[in-house]
Structure 1
Amino acid sequence: MAHDLRDDLELVGGDYYFDDDDDFDDGFQTGSGGSSGLQHEQMDDTSASDYKEGKDIQGIPWERLNYSRDQYRKMRLKEYKNYQNLTRSRSGLEQECKQVERKDAFYDFQSSTRAVKSTIVHFQLRNLLWATSKHDVYLVQNYSVMHWSPLLQRGREVLNVAGQLTPTENVKGAGRLSRVQVSTMALEDNLMVAGGFQGELICKYIDKPGVAFCTNLSGNNNSITNAVDIYRAPNGATRVTAANNDCVVRTFDTERYSLLTQFTFPWSVNNTSVCPDGKLMAVLGDSSDCLLTDSQSGKEIARLQGHLDYSFASAWHPDGHVLATGNQDATCRLWDVRNLSESLAVLPGRIGAVRGLRFSPDGRVRRRRAGAGPVRGGGRRRVQPRRGGSVRERRRPDLRRRAGVPAAPVVRVPRLVLLLRCLGLADRRAGL
């Protein structure tokens, strides 16, 4: 039973599912050369009514294949071997993981379309697909960032990086860029920030023409921009951070795009995230440790230990007390930043590394209706951890007090929604 789903799909015929070519025929008219029509004859979208009648969400004709979807999923989970950077023993990891309740539904299926294909050239790339609302999806497609409207069933190009980019803001450090291959991005309100494979950083306001700011952060060909983040500083100002393979985290303002801080770490940085009050920054990278630092001075406040491999993702609960970290060891750990002697909980992923994490805006599970969006950008899964009781306060220094953040008297594991983006290659292609 161990063979690729792609082989079965090629046998039944039809241009429905996979495309490994660099030139995608995606239904978008782009500056880098795209198609001008939505190929519904080939794409064959799935609606909510189709799904209720038994049609597969992605339109895969399981009835014509050798195995059912459930059978193939079981094979995939059984045979998948997670990539490892550190060959540490994982014998006790399963016992440490909490059981995950799967009885609740966090969203209802509305529709899916294969008319929109995002371009993810490496399985370790993250945040190349963003849904800023249920009606707005942003995705990277070759040398373009596209916006897809599920309501209008129409896409438009937001940013084209195939040619030369010239910043509209005449500020220190800005420079021209050309033919940027986007490696990561982030969106907040109207601001979009993108990073590139050669260490590029691009800032653009979606409602304005041109690029506000762009630069090459280091000039080092090995300094890929692994992650970018947009956050509010304690004074309310908007800040942009870039984490790179050159082991440096840089922070810019969004008024004059001045370089405010530049912190160097002993390993390549894969991810940063700043707590809601803007005072603490989580820094994760090619290390099994996660560092909690002061966002303004870069001073290390605490070192979180427990993961067995490199880390790729983090997210803060809206109350600023709980941090979630995602790792190559296929787990997500929850930490109470007021007491870091051990993690609050360890949540298992289903397959592959945990490369993306999100909390719901209020930190609680909410029943949401999912808008139609691209299905080619990597699967997302919502899981609900068990609700935890209070955690006894231990007699040790309050680490948040060092950063001037008041502590609350009681700690509870919050009800939350974690989006675990597990990018196994076959799963990313087939959406399994």
Structure 2
Amino acid sequence: MSHQQENDANEMEEEYEMEDAEVDMDDDGFHDRDASDSDSDVDTYDYMSNRIHDTTASQARKGKDIQGIPWERLSITREKYRQTRLEQYKNYENIPQSGEGSEKECKTTEKGGVYYVFRRNSRSVKSTILHFQLRNLVWATSKHDVYLMSHFSVMHWSSLTRTKSEVINVSGRVAPCEKHPGSLLEGFTQTQVSTLAVKDNLLVAGGFQGELICKYLDRPGVSYCTRTTYDENAITNAVEIYTSGSGAMHFVASNNDGGVRTFDMEKFQQSNHFCFPWPVNHTSLSPDGKTLIIVGDDPEGLLVDSRSGKTISSLHGHFDYSFASSWHPNGLTFATGNQDKTCRIWDIRNLSKSVAALKGNIGAIRSIRYTSDGKFMAMAEPADFVHIFDVGSGYQKEQEIDFFGEISGMSFSPDTQSLFVGVWDRTYGSLLEFSRRNEYSYLDAIF
């Protein structure tokens, strides 16, 4: 996203918040409301009496709202509020009417699947967002361990012990405690974290000024700090961590200056730098390590050679700018998410057009994840909806997870057994937890 577009987008985001506030005030709703200026009896009641609790699977099965919203005490029903959100939520577009343009190409899916069942809504974990277009701020490293941004802190949450701990605090100075060539020993001060990635024991946080902060979770302190660029348009839009053929940890960073840079964390140094003609919003490396998906501020995406950076093929089909991508574990198909409200599925054996276009309900597809076994793909809209598709059905069948609030990120656990969704809302911010549905449904009842 260009610098001017970022300013325009931030102004529009402020307008959205005001519009949301008006909807809340008129309807006694709850979204994006702070207790100090709340006119809602339920908000005041919950805060003053400390009655905001987690919601468990057993409570949800008995009919309690998974987010703990007491609809019975509000002057609007859940169904009516959902309809209001569908009608009034404004999707941000860089290219006008892109959502309408893509709609006719979308396939009709069969909804009603239940692949992941609700486990718990953890209200003590406040997942937050700094940049409204960048939503990759939640990462699971096991079915119980998840990392997320909460204001100026990277937090670890254990769904097993129900405890949280601070991993990095970026509100002050963060500096590496190890010495490596090219590492900025002075570190950074007051980093605004725009994107996050965690895999195995490596955590990488990217910032608005091109900062990269690298920490190994099994070592004290921060290992490596570097700045990708001193360009004015420097924001780090995405980071993806991967393991090389030799077993070394690497990551690739996508930046607003049009740069895609790979880093070798065994040598603690940049190993490659490719330049593209527009800001790069997301990059994904194929399972065999040979091909990169490059998407950004252009309706066309690119497939490029990961070693040379040369374009293999263009991806024609989207109507707006893309902010998400992901490879299926088989390395033959992949997905891209766009502000035209669609996720497109592609097959490398025939890239003349996408295999399928999957439609969101209210907004851009800002995050895409496949399960490690390749059976399911999840796509997240900016707010309210996460869609889980059955890949084996040709993306024909889906589960729609329906809630209220902006989505800060989502992540399947590496063993596919858990799905975590970060919800950003001043009153109902939380971490939604889901468990993969077992073949024998009685096992799901133990949660």
Q: Could you tell me which amino acid in structure 2 is paired with residue 347 of structure 1?
A: L
8 A contact 2:112–2:400 mirrored in 1 = no
After TM superposition, which residue ranges in structure 1, 4 or more long, deviate above 6 angstroms? 414-424
Structure 1 stretch displaced more, 284-293 or 160-169 = 160-169
Residue 330, structure 1, aligned to residue 341, structure 2 = yes
Equivalent in the alignment of 2:10: none
Counterparts of 1:424 and 1:103, CA distance in 2: 21
Residue 305, structure 1, aligned to residue 336, structure 2 = no
The one of 187, 190, 194 aligned to 1:183: 194
Structure 1 stretch displaced more, 141-150 or 122-131 = 122-131
Equivalent in the alignment of 1:5: 24
3-state secondary structure, aligned to 2:131: coil
Question: Structure 1 residues 181, 69: closer, same or farther in 2, change over 3 A?
Answer: same
Question: Structure 1 residues 167, 419: closer, same or farther in 2, change over 3 A?
Answer: farther
3-state secondary structure, aligned to 1:70: helix
Equivalent in the alignment of 2:351: 340
1:415 offset after TM fit, Å? 8.3
Greater relative contact order: 1 or 2 (C-alpha under 8 angstroms, separation 6 or more)? 2
State the number of aligned residues: 378
TM-score in terms of structure 1 length:
0.80
Residue 142, structure 1, aligned to residue 151, structure 2 = yes
Consecutive unaligned residues of structure 2, counting only runs of 5 or more, are: 1-19, 31-38, 408-422, 433-447
Consecutive unaligned residues of structure 1, counting only runs of 5 or more, are: 19-38, 369-376, 389-412
Equivalent in the alignment of 1:228: 239
Counterparts of 1:354 and 1:297, CA distance in 2: 29
8 A contact 2:384–2:405 mirrored in 1 = no
3-state secondary structure, aligned to 2:91: coil
Equivalent in the alignment of 1:86: 95
Counterparts of 2:162 and 2:217, CA distance in 1: 19
Counterparts of 1:48 and 1:420, CA distance in 2: 15
Equivalent in the alignment of 1:401: none
Map 1:331-370 → 2, pairs under 5 A: 331-365=342-376
Q: Could you tell me which amino acid in structure 2 is paired with residue 278 of structure 1?
A: G
Question: Structure 1 residues 145, 289: closer, same or farther in 2, change over 3 A?
Answer: same
1:341 offset after TM fit, Å? 0.9
1:240 offset after TM fit, Å? 1.0
Equivalent in the alignment of 2:81: 72
The one of 93, 99, 104 aligned to 2:113: 104
3-state secondary structure, aligned to 1:133: coil
8 A contact 2:110–2:397 mirrored in 1 = no
Question: Structure 1 residues 428, 146: closer, same or farther in 2, change over 3 A?
Answer: closer
Question: Structure 1 residues 418, 124: closer, same or farther in 2, change over 3 A?
Answer: farther
Equivalent in the alignment of 2:419: none
8 A contact 2:108–2:396 mirrored in 1 = no
1:121 offset after TM fit, Å? 2.5
1:107 offset after TM fit, Å? 1.4
As a proportion of its length, which structure holds more helix? 2
Map 1:248-327 → 2, pairs under 5 A: 248-327=259-338
Structure 1 stretch displaced more, 265-274 or 136-145 = 136-145
Q: Could you tell me which amino acid in structure 2 is paired with residue 13 of structure 1?
A: V
Question: Structure 1 residues 300, 419: closer, same or farther in 2, change over 3 A?
Answer: farther
Residue 130, structure 1, aligned to residue 135, structure 2 = no
Deviation track 1:195-228 (CA, whole Å, cap 9, x = no partner) reads 0111100111111111111111112343011101
The one of 40, 46, 69 aligned to 2:55: 46
TM-score in terms of structure 2 length:
0.77
Question: Structure 1 residues 289, 105: closer, same or farther in 2, change over 3 A?
Answer: same
As a proportion of its length, which structure holds more strand? 2
Question: Structure 1 residues 332, 47: closer, same or farther in 2, change over 3 A?
Answer: same
8 A contact 1:359–1:418 mirrored in 2 = no
8 A contact 2:111–2:398 mirrored in 1 = no
8 A contact 2:199–2:241 mirrored in 1 = yes
Counterparts of 1:416 and 1:321, CA distance in 2: 20
Question: Structure 1 residues 41, 347: closer, same or farther in 2, change over 3 A?
Answer: same
Counterparts of 2:295 and 2:84, CA distance in 1: 32
RMSD: 3.0
Q: Could you tell me which amino acid in structure 2 is paired with residue 217 of structure 1?
A: T
3-state secondary structure, aligned to 2:215: strand
Counterparts of 2:85 and 2:392, CA distance in 1: 30
Question: Structure 1 residues 88, 47: closer, same or farther in 2, change over 3 A?
Answer: closer
